[in-house]
Amino acid sequence: MMTPGRDKNDGVINDDDSGAAANPVDLGVLAVLVDELGDRAIVASVVEAFLGQLDVRVDGIIDAVAAADAATAHHWAHTLTSSARMVGATRLADMGRAVERGDETPEAFRTLAEQVRDALLVWGAAG
């Protein structure tokens, strides 16, 4: 049985929203997905697909916001939000929406996206 705030290997995960030091990926989401699908390789493929599209989606949101193209910004934010939540990057999903609304800077968004990429690459390498 998993305890909230711990992964299945009893490693502490960070599932709060306390700031820059917080883990950009909730590893518990990935652990649950592995448990539900029964195959880490399948989840690794999902993570790989997410990472393959991450830059396109981040750039899409930032470029659309800069061009004041609300419909395109909404499209990119929607696609990023659903896929980011699936891999445990809920802070990135929330920040994408915030950038779309003009409530967050593109620089902070891009930095968080890079942190998410790094964290997911570490997760993948640990497999």
* Domain assignment of residue 9, yes or no: no
Mean per-residue pLDDT for 109-126? 96
pLDDT-derived band of residue 127, with 50, 70 and 90 as boundaries? confident
pLDDT-derived band of residue 22, with 50, 70 and 90 as boundaries? confident
pTM: 0.81
**Domains of the chain: total:** 1
What percentage of the chain carries pLDDT values higher than 70? 83
SS3 breakdown of the chain: % helix, strand, coil, rounded to 5? 70, 0, 30
* Domain assignment of residue 1, yes or no: no
* Domain assignment of residue 3, yes or no: no
Which residues, 6 or more positions from 75, have their beta carbon under 8 angstroms from its beta carbon? 60, 64
How open is the CA angle 100-104-106, to the nearest 5 degrees? 80
* Domain assignment of residue 8, yes or no: no
Instruction: Enter the tokens of residue 38.
Output: 């029964």
User: Residue 120 maps to which CATH number?
Assistant: 1.20.120
For the ranges 10-19, 20-29, 30-39, 99-108, the lowest mean pLDDT is seen at 10-19
* Domain assignment of residue 39, yes or no: yes
Domain that holds residue 44: 27-125
* Domain assignment of residue 5, yes or no: no
